[in-house]
Structure 1
Amino acid sequence: MNRRTLWLVGALIVVLLGTLSVYLFLKARPYQEVVDHGPSPAAQANPYLAAEMFLRERGLNVSHAESQAVLADIDPRGHTLLLFGERSKMPPRQIDQVLNWTRAGGRLVFVAESLWDERSKQSNDLLLDRVQLHQSLSKDLKDPPEDQEQDRYPQLTKLYLEDEDAPAYAGFDTDFHLEDPNNLAQAWANSAKATHMMQLTYGLGTVTVVTDADLWKTPSIGEYDNAWLLWYLSAETDVTLIYNTEHEGLLALLWRYFPQAIVALLALIGLWLWHVAVRHGPVQAPAPTGRRQLQEHLRASADFILRHNGQHTLLQALQQDVLRRARRRHPGFDQLNVAEQWLALSRLTRQPTRAISQALSPPPKQRMSAADFSRQVARLQTLRNTL
Structure 2
Amino acid sequence: MSVRLRWLLVVLGVLALGVPLTIAFLRTHERVTRTEHLPPQGEASYNPLYVLGQALRADGITVHSRPRVDLATMSLQPGDTLVLLQDSATLPAPTARALLAWVARGGHLVVRTPPPSEEALLANGPLLEALGVDAVDYGSACQPFHVRDDPHHVEFCRGRRFWAEPPSGMRVAREWGDVDEYGDDAGRVFVRLRHGQGSVDVLADLDFMKGLGRPAELDTSNAAKGQYVDGLHDKAHRDLTRYVLAPRYGQGSMWLVYGAQPPSLWNRIFYQGWPVWAPLLLALLGWLWRRAQRIGSLLPSPAVERRSLLEHVRASGDHLLRYGKAPLLYDAVRRAFLARLRRRAPTAAALAGEVQVQAIATLLQWPHGRVHTALTAPASHDLTGLRERIRLLIQMRNLL
Report the TM-score when normalising by structure 2: 0.48
Structure of higher CA gyration radius:
2
Q: With the length of structure 1 as denominator, give the TM-score of the two structures.
A: 0.49
